[in-house]
Amino acid sequence: MNTTMVGFDTIFLYKHQDGIWSDHADDFHNRGFLFGDGLFETMVFTKGKIRFALKHTNRLAEGMRTLSLGTEGLSQISEIEILLNEIWGDKKNLRIRWNIYRSGLGKYTPETNYVLESLQIHTFYPAPKLKEKAYISQNIHMQKTSWSHCKTLSALTYVMANQERKTKGYDEVILTNADGYVSEAGSCNMFWVKNGIYFTPSLDSGCIAGIGREVILEYFKKTNIPFSEGLFKVDELLPADQIFTSNVTGISFVKSIENKDYDSRLNEGLEGIFKIK
């Protein structure tokens, strides 16, 4: 494996029952593959550490409780950091997708709540600074469930939304829920600013509890920036002064939604949260 390249093809590592990580998969036909029965964390590895490690740990623990997944044998983020440092050292920035899925087969009813794990590893690229054109999907909607805030492997809604976006030729798709409330973007949480107040959909909209979202809300509280977290209709979004999306890779400002232009000047304070130095 050549780890000195600037970029590389996706690398998969699987944790086997003996606790050893390797690039050989014993069985692709698992419950993650068959049913989307599991969770994942998208993480940034920089300077030998997983950024926002505690937040990823806490979100994963909440997701595992919600899906009744067992934690016995589950890796610690510190173990993953050691593995990545052994392969790449602390000089490379990586995007890590940590997949956790229920073991066993069965049909819809699980045979066990034990878990298996894999890592999907890419070169890290930060979120684009600007998304030129966005639109609001009229066909694909989010659904609020007891697990909709979790990053589950069942991601067909996002697949279909981004397929539609690609077909239409846009840079971003904005999704509402079945009641018409703004929920999130195609792979990001949503924020907007109006008259100096920041707004973001609450988890009741069906959006994912994003790590980037959590970090931004903490920044607002720490710096006394006024914000509102709730349920908002599209007509409360469209008059905004500025709109941006966020995930763990950073912030992207939206330049236009269906021919309405927005302020796309970068916010150094917000961007500083995600800047890799």
For residue 271, the model assigns a pLDDT of 87
For residue 124, the model assigns a pLDDT of 96
Could you tell me the mean pLDDT of each successive run of 10 residues in the chain, 277 residues long? 58 83 76 95 98 98 98 95 95 96 92 94 95 97 97 97 98 97 98 97 98 98 97 97 97 94 90 88
79-85 LR contacts (CB < 8 Å, sep 24+): 80/50, 80/119, 81/45, 81/48, 81/49, 81/50, 81/53, 83/13, 83/21, 83/119, 84/45, 84/48, 84/121, 85/48
For residue 105, the model assigns a pLDDT of 87
State which amino acid sits at residue 49. K
Strand blocks (E) in the chain: 11-15, 21-22, 38-46, 49-50, 94-102, 115-123, 130-142, 172-177, 182-185, 189-194, 197-201, 227-230, 242-247, 250-257, 260-261
For residue 101, the model assigns a pLDDT of 95
DSSP 204: G
For residue 2, the model assigns a pLDDT of 47
Which residues, listed in sequence order, are joined to residue 247 by a DSSP beta bridge? 250
Q: Whole-number mean pLDDT of the chain?
A: 93
* pLDDT single digits (tens) 132-159: 999 999 999 999 999 999 999 999 999 9
For residue 6, the model assigns a pLDDT of 52
**DSSP three-state, residue 27:** coil
Q: Residue 241 contacts by C-beta under 8 Å, 6 or more apart in sequence?
A: 192, 193, 194, 195, 262, 263
Beta-strand pair 182-185/189-194: unpaired
- Per the listing, tokens 């021919």 go with 259
